[in-house]
Amino acid sequence: MEKSLEQKLEEFQQKIDAEIRIEPTDWMPDEYRKTLIRQISQHAHSEIVGMLPEGNWITRAPNLRRKAVLLAKVQDEAGHGLYLYSAAETLGADREETIDDLHSGKAKYSSIFNYPTLTWADIGAVGWLVDGAAIMNQVPLCRCSYGPYARAMVRVCKEESFHQRQGFEIMMRLAQGTPEQKAMAQDALNRWWWPALMMFGPTDKDSKHSAQSMNWKIKRISNDDLRQQFVDITVPQAEMIGLSVPDKDLVWNEETQHYSYGEINWDEFMNVVAGNGPCNKERVTARRKAKEEGMWVREAAAAFAEKRKSAKKAS
């Protein structure tokens, strides 16, 4: 006898509660599928758009070693995007449609990539803070209830750890350098600190998806708790290299054993997410242009594959 929807939902939640992974061919509620497609495709777009602010510095890296490392990092981000688009496809998402949604401005990607990388120190700040925040958010996603997403995250996190260290090392060297270099590192920290805190998303009170996503074990730790972990880990790193975090309200709280930090400018966040950040238009235009200009490569590759298939059939 066919099971009722209530029965299926109950069994699904029992599997989640028992920490049994959900795999692509398993039954799942439509809303679970929709939430995952939303989150995973946004995540994929973030990886791909995230290549732009860093790619901006490949030709201007200060030496060959820095250039090779940055090139490898940016290539890693492309790989992350591809694993994630594949993970979204296992849920029935159409890759081309998903990418078209990014290009039409319909799909979201992380707010952080709408800020410009003005100096070489910004490459250090992005690696240290942005990849640092990404790891904080993505390590718990390795335990996400959906198998393909969780498994993709394991590799992504290993690579992000290397990225975070390369960023911190750039900042450390600049902070130990000439007064001008140290000032450049401090300026980058000043500009990237608050946007990095915004990466974790709205406060728990305002996060509309968190409660359901936590119940389904897609998300394991809340936006605010992850943000707090990030502050607690990063502030001593800044102190260690002699830089100061641009927050006059930042203070260690003996009682909670956490840093208390100042108010985030949520108007700025909403404005950037709505498409009005300093670089939103530039980012989407660059992605659209890449698709149009790369069209001939995809067409040639598809024609070549077709030709080989026909030749194989004929022989």
For binding to ligand BYC (CB under 6 A), which residues are involved? Answer: 38-39, 42-43, 46-47, 50, 77, 108, 110-111, 130-131, 134, 137, 198-202, 207-210, 213, 219, 223, 273
Backbone phi and psi for residue 264, each to the nearest 5 degrees, phi listed first? -80, 145
Secondary structure (H, E, C), 220-256: CCCHHHHHHHHHHHHHHHHHHCCCCCCCCCCEEECCC
**Closer by beta carbon to ligand BYC, 197 or else 241:** 197
Task: Identify the CA nearest to 58 among candidates 80, 46, 45, 73.
Answer: 73
**Closer by beta carbon to ligand BYC, 12 or else 128:** 128
**Closer by beta carbon to ligand BYC, 166 or else 210:** 210
Pairing mode of beta strands 258-260, 251-253: antiparallel
CB 233, min distance to ligand BYC, A: 16
Tell me how far CA of residue 175 lies from CA of 112, 161, 232, in angstroms.
23, 21, 21
Task: Identify the CA nearest to 242 among candidates 186, 280, 190, 284.
Answer: 186
**Closer by beta carbon to ligand BYC, 140 or else 182:** 140
Backbone phi and psi for residue 106, each to the nearest 5 degrees, phi listed first? -75, -35
CB 157, min distance to ligand BYC, A: 11
Element holding 44 (H helix, E strand): helix 30-49
CB 74, min distance to ligand BYC, A: 9
CB 134, min distance to ligand BYC, A: 4
**Closer by beta carbon to ligand BYC, 166 or else 223:** 223
Task: Identify the CA nearest to 116 among candidates 241, 272, 293, 274.
Answer: 272
Q: How many CA atoms lie within 13 A of 77 on its CB side?
A: 25
**Closer by beta carbon to ligand BYC, 182 or else 193:** 193
Instruction: For residue 236, give both structure tokens.
Output: 């001593």
CB 168, min distance to ligand BYC, A: 14
CB 210, min distance to ligand BYC, A: 5
